[in-house]
Structure 1
Amino acid sequence: MTVNMFDLTGKIALVTGSSRGIGSAIAKGLAAAGATVVLNGLDEARLEAARVALAAEVGEDRVRAIAFDVTDADATASAINWIEAEVGPLAILVNNAGVQHRVPMLDLDVADWERVLRTNLTSAFLVGREAARHMIPRGAGKIINVASVQTDLARPTIAPYTASKGGIRNLTRAMTAEWASHGLQINAIAPGYIHTEMTQNLVDDTVFNEWILGRTPAHRWGTVEDLVGPAVWLASAGSNFVNGQVVFIDGGMTVVV
């Protein structure tokens, strides 16, 4: 009998920030691989629309949604407890929620610095920790943190984002150091420049678009679909001895000068 190592049937997955963009695509990919997916976001109307759309593809019983603030420790704990009680044992967590803020550092307000770090980095710690509290006693779990090419690279005007994504790399390592012995695998995916609603203004900027095409060996922007395969792999039994790694999905951008 052939065993599909990438089959996620019966697994329950939470994807934060999944009402649109990268999170939505990853949630759809996990569901296509068989998982029951819990969507998350702050905008309840947009989150419900995302739930309805995905449920139309994979079935009402395979998609749930819960709106909660991933930067709020109490709200996060309550949400994870709800998933465990009402949906089932959480097997997969994708920490995707994030924001961007483009301002030169000399003009950057401290409140904006802290907001980006809190949303992009602290949230992964909070949600990851609550998920691990349940995964560790079961001796199994997959946590996928969403990093970025800015984990390794920097550009002007995005200092807090760059700092937060560098932090994601070492948070992934810290989680591995503490939780791998309990049967968990914690890794990160690092998308390159991905064409989404949030980056449309960059795609429309002719100069920036030409720079991206020239800087990327694959000579194109990434798509959200490019991230699905690596996410499914890291969520599956096919990656059971992969731990603490950052997988760059960037068309080769980070390996050339």
Structure 2
Amino acid sequence: MARYAYVNGRYVDHREASVHIEDRGYQLADGVYEVVGVRDGKLIDEKPHLDRLDRSLKELRIAPPVSRKTLCFVIRELMRRNRLRDGLVYMQVTRGVARRDHAFPTTPVRPSLVLTTKNTRHLGPDVGPGIAVRSQPDIRWERCDIKTVALLPNVLAKQAARESGAYEAWLVDAKGCVTEGASTNAWIVTGDGELITRQTDSGILAGITRGTLKSIADKLQLKLVERPFSLAEAKQANEAFITSATSFVTPVIRIDDAPVGDGKPGPTARRLREEYVRFAEAGETVT
């Protein structure tokens, strides 16, 4: 089956999709992106993802390339053409094509819009065996709240984790506190049963799955506290887990060389995973 991408107004063969060599996203990482999960042909948290895309564009002073109505149509048409049932829709907007210069172009340029899709396995309520994470120093810039394509520090941290046998990296700031994962948000459950995740500020990305999980935790009457937690505290926690559009809720059973709790997925992560899957199954149907 042919696979399609969307590039600046055209649906093209994915193998031939391309942007201009002087696209500022390619040369200067001058752009933003979003990833929306799809389950059973339904978009998960579409509106919050598009709201965050708008915010990222505004922070970088990039004009939206199309209206929201048009973007929603393009997403659905690309899903239809690629027969996407379970997977991801990737959206990227850059400032556009201009002669290379660090400063913004002095004459108006059209922002570039690219969309692709990716098939993934059907994620269910089972959390599986859990994952290991490896701590890495947080060397990113100070505006991690903007979802930019400038991801090299994340790439290096993730690669170091994978080379150590871990699935994800947890980034640790100068104070010894966990900020977030290389591509996920980080959570722990204390011995007192408190659900802890770092507050949203310029040091982390306000994850959409994270936001949904906060609402789910509130409905379950879990005690949620948004504050920094240290790497040492995480290693002593009863449970730990990550969240993202791609991992849903996935338990962390080992941090560096230390098991978390009894080294097995805990009841809080299991319950939150089950409830998140129920939420995802109620998403918007694409016809």
- TM-score, scaled to structure 1: 0.25
Please state which structure has a larger fraction of its residues in strand.
2
Decide which structure has the larger Cα Rg and report it: 2
Q: TM-score, normalised on structure 2?
A: 0.23
